[in-house]
C-alpha cells in the first residue's frame, strides 16, 4: 500500500466510512507509514493484538522529547507562549509526572463516585427531552447528545451554566485541529479559553466549593501539588475529554441502533441489555477512533515493520475493534456480544479515567431516549450524514431522524455542530 493511497484521516468524508480502509491495512500493511495533514510522519498500527500491546508498551513515550536520541532535540510544532501551559497536560506526559497528575484526579472518576451521579444524569436526560416533547422537529445532537455530558462535566468542575455553551464551542474548535493552518486559525479560541479558565481558577480560589476545580486547587497545598500551569492544563483536559467521547457514543450509538433495527427492537424489548449494548456500541462506533500520539524510544518492530526511534505511532482503536482476528462478525452489531474485550478506552497507564462516567451517561441517555421516543427512525440516507473533522475522535456532525411518540405524530431532526 503506497502513501498516495492513504486518505486524509481528519476528513469528515473519511470519518463517515473508515472501516474499508482499515480492513485493507490489517490485511496488507498492518503497520503503515502515513503523512498527516500537518505534514508529520506517523505509523498506523491497525491489528487488535498489536494495538493492545503498543498501548501498554513502555518503549513508546507520550512526550516526544523523551524519544529522541541523546543529544538531539525534536522540533515541536509552534505553540504561542500563552498556550504553552497546555503542553503540560496529563495526556502528553510520561512517568513519573503522568502518575502524579493522574492520582490527583482519579478519585473523581471511581465507579463508586460515578454511581452517585446516576440520579443527576437521569434528571438531566429527562429535562432535556421534556424541553422538546412538543416540538415537531428535534435537533438531537444539540438538544440532547451534547448538553447531557457537557452539563455533567461542567457541574463537576464548577463551570457556571451560562458559560457552558461557549466552552463547548471552544472545545469543538480545538478537537478539530489537524493541520498547521487549523492550528493557527484556532489561536484566538485558545487565548479566550485560557483567559476564561484562569478567571475560573481565580474565582474558585476566592470562593471554593465542593467541585473538582476547587479540589484540584486544594491539592496544591499537599505534597504532590499541581503547579499553576498543570492546574490549567488539567482542567482543559477534563473539560474536553469529559464530554467529547460521550457525545460521540450517544450520537453514533443511536445511529448504529437505527441502522440495525433487529438489535434496536431487541433492546427495546429487554432494556436490561443496556449494559452489554453500551459495550458493543463502544466497540462498534469507537468514539475515540485513533489513540493520541506515542513516540518510539528506540527502533521498535511491530508485525515485521520497524518504527524508527523518535517517530510517531498512532494506535488505530477503530480498526482494532473491528479486527476479524479478535471478533466474530466484527462489522455486525450484536448487543449481547460476549466476551467483548474492546479497546474503546485504551489500555495501560493512559486508560481513560472517565470510562465509568462515559458508560453510565451512555446507558442512561440511550435507554431514556428509546423509552420516551420508541418510534425514533432515520429521516435521511445514512450516507448523507455529515461527520466532524479531526484525526483522533469520530463523531457525527448532522443527523436527521424523525420519531413518533405514542399518541402524537412528531418529526425529530438530528444534527450537531459541524
pLDDT band at 265 (very low <50, low <70, confident <90, very high): very high
pLDDT band at 101 (very low <50, low <70, confident <90, very high): confident
Q: Please indicate, yes or no, if residue 401 is contained in any of the structural domains.
A: no
CB 316 within 8 A of CB 51: yes
How many residues are there in the chain? 418
- Residue 149, C-alpha cell as written in the block: 455530558
**CA 314 – CA 66 distance, rounded (Å):** 17
Query: Stretch 288-297: mean pLDDT, rounded?
Result: 96
**CA 288 – CA 291 distance, rounded (Å):** 7
pLDDT band at 175 (very low <50, low <70, confident <90, very high): low
Helices (H), 207-227: 212-219
- Measured from the Cβ of residue 94, the count of other Cβ atoms closer than 10 Å reads 20
φ and ψ at residue 42, rounded to 5 degrees: -145, 160
Query: Stretch 192-200: mean pLDDT, rounded?
Result: 88
pLDDT in tens, 14-50: 999 999 999 999 999 999 999 998 889 999 999 999 9
- Please tell me the predicted confidence (pLDDT) of residue 247: 93
Q: Please indicate, yes or no, if residue 406 is contained in any of the structural domains.
A: no
Q: Please indicate, yes or no, if residue 395 is contained in any of the structural domains.
A: no
| Torsion angle, alpha carbons of 104, 110, 116, 118, to 10 | 120
- Please tell me the predicted confidence (pLDDT) of residue 406: 42
**CA 253 – CA 139 distance, rounded (Å):** 16
pTM of the complete model: 0.90
Query: Stretch 280-303: mean pLDDT, rounded?
Result: 97
CATH of the domain at 191: 1.10.630.10
- Please tell me the predicted confidence (pLDDT) of residue 361: 97
Residue 86 DSSP symbol: G
Closest CA to 312 of 327, 330, 294, 287: 294
Q: Please indicate, yes or no, if residue 286 is contained in any of the structural domains.
A: yes
- Please tell me the predicted confidence (pLDDT) of residue 405: 47
Residue with more model confidence, 214 or 306: 306
**CA 338 – CA 58 distance, rounded (Å):** 30
CB 158 within 8 A of CB 207: no
**Which CA distances in Å does 334 have to 261, 343, 353, 374, 417?**
11, 17, 26, 20, 29
Q: CB-based burial of residue 148 (10 Å sphere; 0-12 exposed, 13-18 middle, 19+ buried)?
A: buried
Q: Please indicate, yes or no, if residue 27 is contained in any of the structural domains.
A: yes
- Measured from the Cβ of residue 100, the count of other Cβ atoms closer than 10 Å reads 16
Whether the pLDDT of residue 328 is over 90: the answer is yes
- Please tell me the predicted confidence (pLDDT) of residue 414: 42
Instruction: Mention every residue, 6+ apart, whose C-beta is less than 8 A from residue 233.
Output: 85, 86, 87, 88, 89, 90
**CA 55 – CA 34 distance, rounded (Å):** 19
Residue with more model confidence, 127 or 87: 127
Whether the pLDDT of residue 12 is over 90: the answer is yes
Domain containing 287: what range?
Answer: 3-384
Query: Stretch 65-91: mean pLDDT, rounded?
Result: 74
- Please tell me the predicted confidence (pLDDT) of residue 184: 67
Whether the pLDDT of residue 186 is over 90: the answer is no
- 56-65, 193-202, 237-246: least confident range: 237-246
Mean pLDDT of the chain: 86
**CA 262 – CA 278 distance, rounded (Å):** 16
Q: Please indicate, yes or no, if residue 49 is contained in any of the structural domains.
A: yes
Q: Please indicate, yes or no, if residue 109 is contained in any of the structural domains.
A: yes
- Please tell me the predicted confidence (pLDDT) of residue 170: 74
pLDDT band at 222 (very low <50, low <70, confident <90, very high): low
Q: Please indicate, yes or no, if residue 407 is contained in any of the structural domains.
A: no
Phi-psi label, residue 335: left if phi above 0, alpha if psi -120 to 50, beta otherwise:
alpha
Closest CA to 285 of 315, 259, 314, 324: 259
Query: Stretch 1-13: mean pLDDT, rounded?
Result: 77
pLDDT in tens, 350-394: 999 889 999 999 999 999 999 999 988 877 788 888 898 899 999
Within a 13 Å sphere around the CA of 57, how many CA atoms are in the beta-carbon half?
21
**CA 324 – CA 263 distance, rounded (Å):** 20
Task: Tell me the angle at which helices 355-372 and 261-269 cross, rounded to the nearest 10 degrees.
Answer: 90
Q: How far is CA 311 from the centre of its chain?
A: 24
**41-45 β-sheet, strand order:** 31-35, 41-45, 312-315, 294-296, 60-61
User: Structurally, how many domains does the chain consist of?
Assistant: 1
pLDDT in tens, 108-117: 677 778 888 9
Task: Tell me the angle at which helices 261-269 and 228-259 cross, rounded to the nearest 10 degrees.
Answer: 100
Amino acid at each position: 500500500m503506497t502513501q498516495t493511497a492513504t486518505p486524509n484521516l481528519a476528513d469528515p468524508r473519511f470519518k463517515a466510512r473508515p472501516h474499508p480502509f482499515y480492513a485493507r491495512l490489517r490485511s496488507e500493511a498492518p503497520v503503515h507509514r502515513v503523512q498527516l495533514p500537518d505534514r508529520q510522519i506517523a505509523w498506523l498500527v491497525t491489528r487488535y493484538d498489536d494495538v493492545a500491546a503498543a498501548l501498554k508498551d513502555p518503549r513508546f513515550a507520550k512526550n516526544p522529547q523523551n524519544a529522541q536520541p541523546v543529544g538531539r532535540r525534536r522540533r515541536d510544532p509552534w505553540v504561542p507562549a500563552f498556550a504553552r501551559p497546555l503542553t503540560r497536560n496529563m495526556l502528553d506526559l510520561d512517568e513519573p509526572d503522568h502518575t502524579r497528575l493522574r492520582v490527583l484526579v482519579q478519585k473523581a472518576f471511581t465507579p463508586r463516585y460515578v454511581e452517585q451521579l446516576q440520579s443527576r444524569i437521569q434528571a438531566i436526560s429527562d429535562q432535556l427531552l421534556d424541553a422538546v416533547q412538543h416540538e415537531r422537529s428535534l435537533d438531537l445532537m444539540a438538544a440532547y447528545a451534547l448538553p447531557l455530558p457537557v452539563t455533567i462535566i461542567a457541574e463537576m468542575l464548577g463551570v457556571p451554566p451560562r458559560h457552558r455553551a461557549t466552552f463547548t464551542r471552544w472545545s469543538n474548535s480545538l478537537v478539530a485541529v489537524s493541520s498547521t493552518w487549523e492550528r493557527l486559525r484556532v489561536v484566538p479560541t485558545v487565548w479566550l479559553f485560557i483567559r476564561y479558565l484562569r478567571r475560573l481558577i481565580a474565582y474558585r480560589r476566592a470562593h471554593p466549593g465542593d467541585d473538582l476545580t476547587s479540589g484540584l486547587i486544594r491539592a496544591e497545598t499537599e505534597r504532590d501539588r499541581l503547579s499553576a500551569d498543570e492546574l490549567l492544563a488539567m482542567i482543559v483536559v477534563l473539560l474536553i475529554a469529559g464530554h467529547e467521547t460521550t457525545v460521540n457514543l450517544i450520537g453514533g450509538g443511536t445511529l448504529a441502533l437505527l441502522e440495525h433495527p433487529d438489535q434496536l427492537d431487541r433492546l427495546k424489548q429487554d432494556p436490561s441489555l443496556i449494559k452489554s449494548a453500551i459495550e458493543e456500541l463502544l466497540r462498534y462506533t469507537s468514539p475515540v477512533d485513533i489513540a493520541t500520539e506515542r513516540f518510539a524510544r528506540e527502533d521498535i518492530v511491530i508485525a515485521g515493520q520497524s518504527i524508527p526511534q523518535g517517530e510517531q505511532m498512532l494506535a488505530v482503536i477503530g480498526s482494532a475493534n473491528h479486527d476479524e482476528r479478535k471478533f466474530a462478525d466484527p462489522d455486525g452489531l450484536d448487543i449481547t456480544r460476549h466476551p467483548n474485550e474492546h479497546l474503546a478506552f485504551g489500555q495501560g497507564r493512559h486508560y481513560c479515567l472517565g470510562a465509568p462516567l462515559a458508560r453510565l451517561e451512555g446507558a442512561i441517555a440511550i435507554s431514556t431516549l428509546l423509552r420516551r421516543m420508541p418510534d425514533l427512525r432515520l429521516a435521511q440516507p445514512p450516507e448523507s450524514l455529515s461527520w466532524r473533522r479531526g484525526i483522533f475522535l469520530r463523531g457525527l456532525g448532522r443527523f436527521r431522524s424523525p420519531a413518533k411518540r405514542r399518541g402524537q405524530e412528531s418529526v425529530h431532526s438530528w444534527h450537531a455542530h459541524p
